[in-house]
């Protein structure tokens, strides 16, 4: 169970270099407009907003590598985020990183992995997403790095990315669970099977029910990890609920399935960090997606109906 006396550090990471769709760099602003800080303060947390890490606009970038678009800037800024996240954890605080496309998690997981390695902790990750994000330069159909962060965290990918936070594997695939999958590329499918990743598609959720899926994942995480990180890509949710995303896929998590899962996560002692990716206000309706995401974050931090 989260300690309400623990300070939450809010870090904006407005990156849009990992995707082809513009606008996701405004995601941190949209989350702030949705009062993410006030929602957590209402739960009893002390929240410090560190503002946004500045990232150079795509207009002044050179693509350079068609299969790893904007690699130098993504790598450089991921180093910056990694250091910031590690410092927050080393201070005993809870990092809440708001993005930004899902390439942001390269830096998030690198910083968390470095903290865990130094403190002899086992990192576990729950990845809520319509996509597996396990491509490499060899398997990517687009060259977009936002489709690669999980592969990078597990040591697969360009060395300028896998070495961020230290030249070691940040995440053991045995301590990863992906939930909400419904759009997987061929190379990702092969890697998921090769590594034996616990991957729950929407078929599994339809068949088993969210409570059963969440129970299986969280019981295993409680047994095996000391630090649990949640990475919430809002496109894991059905686009009828969260339309403001760059890569919407129909048939996603429902409103209550998402909240149920997050409410159950909040009861896990190891839960210690969170990032929120892919909120794109350009594609949204009256900030609906950011409002939903902010409320889901509050559920993960202990908000209850009663």
CATH of the domain at 139: 3.40.800.10
Residue 152 has pLDDT above 70, yes or no: yes
The Cα-based distances of 298 to 44, 59, 72, 88, 261 in angstroms read: 11, 35, 34, 20, 12
What is the crossing angle of helices 71-90 and 104-118, to 10°? 40
Residue 230 forms part of a structural domain: yes
78-103 pLDDT per residue, tens: 999 999 999 999 999 999 999 999 99
> Active-site residue numbers?
102, 129, 131, 133, 146, 233, 235, 278
Domain count, the chain: 1
Instruction: Please tell me the least confidently modeled range out of 19-33, 51-65, 251-265, 289-303.
Output: 51-65
61 in a structural domain: yes
pLDDT of residue 285: 97
- Tell whether 248 is covered by a domain: yes
Query: What pLDDT sits at residue 1?
Result: 63
Q: How far is Cα 153 from Cα 165, in angstroms, rounded to an integer?
A: 10
- Residues 170-222 have pLDDT tens digits of 999 999 999 999 999 999 999 999 999 999 999 999 999 999 999 999 999 99
305 found inside a domain: no
Round to the nearest angstrom and report the end-to-end CA distance of the chain.
17
d(CA 160, CA 79): 10
Within-domain flag for 2: no
Residue 270 lies in a domain: yes
Strand partners, 96: 10, 274
Please report the pLDDT score of residue 214 as a whole number. Answer: 98
- For the question of whether the overall pTM of this predicted structure is more than 0.85, the answer is yes
Domain that holds residue 209: 7-300
Mean pLDDT of the chain: 96
Rg (CA), the chain: 17
The CA-based angle 128-130-132, given to 5 degrees, is 80
Say what the pLDDT of residue 57 is.
Answer: 82
Between the alpha carbon of residue 193 and those of residues 33, 149, 152, 189, the distances in Å are: 41, 17, 17, 6
Indicate whether 205 belongs to any domain. Answer: yes
At residue 65, the pLDDT reads: 83
Q: pLDDT class for 4, splitting at 50, 70, 90?
A: confident
259-297, pLDDT tens digit by residue?
999 999 999 999 999 999 999 999 999 999 999 999 999
Q: Is the peptide bond before 132 cis (omega within 30 degrees of 0)?
A: no
In a domain, 187, yes or no: yes
């Amino acid at each position: 169970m989260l300690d309400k006396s623990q300070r939450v550090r809010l870090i904006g990471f407005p990156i849009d270099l990992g995707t082809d769709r513009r606008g996701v760099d405004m995601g941190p602003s949209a989350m702030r407009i949705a009062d993410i800080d006030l929602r957590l303060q209402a739960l009893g947390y002390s929240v410090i907003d560190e503002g946004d890490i500045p990232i150079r606009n795509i207009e002044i970038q050179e693509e350079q590598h068609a299969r790893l678009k904007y690699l130098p800037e993504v790598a450089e800024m991921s180093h910056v985020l990694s250091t910031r996240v590690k410092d927050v954890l080393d201070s005993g605080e809870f990092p809440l990183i708001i993005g930004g496309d899902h390439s942001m998690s390269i830096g998030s997981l690198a910083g968390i992995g470095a903290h865990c390695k130094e403190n002899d902790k086992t990192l576990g990750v729950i990845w809520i997403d319509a996509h597996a994000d396990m491509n490499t330069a060899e398997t990517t159909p687009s060259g977009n790095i936002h489709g690669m962060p999980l592969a990078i965290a597990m040591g697969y990918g360009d060395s300028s990315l896998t070495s961020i936070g230290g030249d070691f594997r940040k995440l053991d695939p045995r301590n990863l669970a992906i939930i909400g999958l419904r759009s997987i590329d061929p190379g990702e499918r092969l890697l998921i099977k090769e590594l034996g990743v616990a991957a729950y598609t929407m078929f599994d959720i339809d068949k088993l029910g969210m409570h059963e899926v969440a129970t299986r994942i969280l019981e295993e995480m409680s047994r095996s990890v000391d630090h649990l990180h949640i990475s919430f890509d809002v496109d894991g949710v059905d686009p009828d609920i969260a339309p403001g995303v760059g890569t919407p896929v129909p048939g996603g998590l429902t409103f209550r399935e998402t909240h149920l899962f997050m409410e159950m996560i909040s009861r896990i002692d190891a839960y210690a960090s969170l990032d929120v990716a892919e909120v794109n206000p350009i594609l949204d309706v009256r900030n609906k997606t950011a409002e939903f995401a902010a409320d889901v974050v509050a559920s993960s931090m202990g908000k209850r109906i009663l």
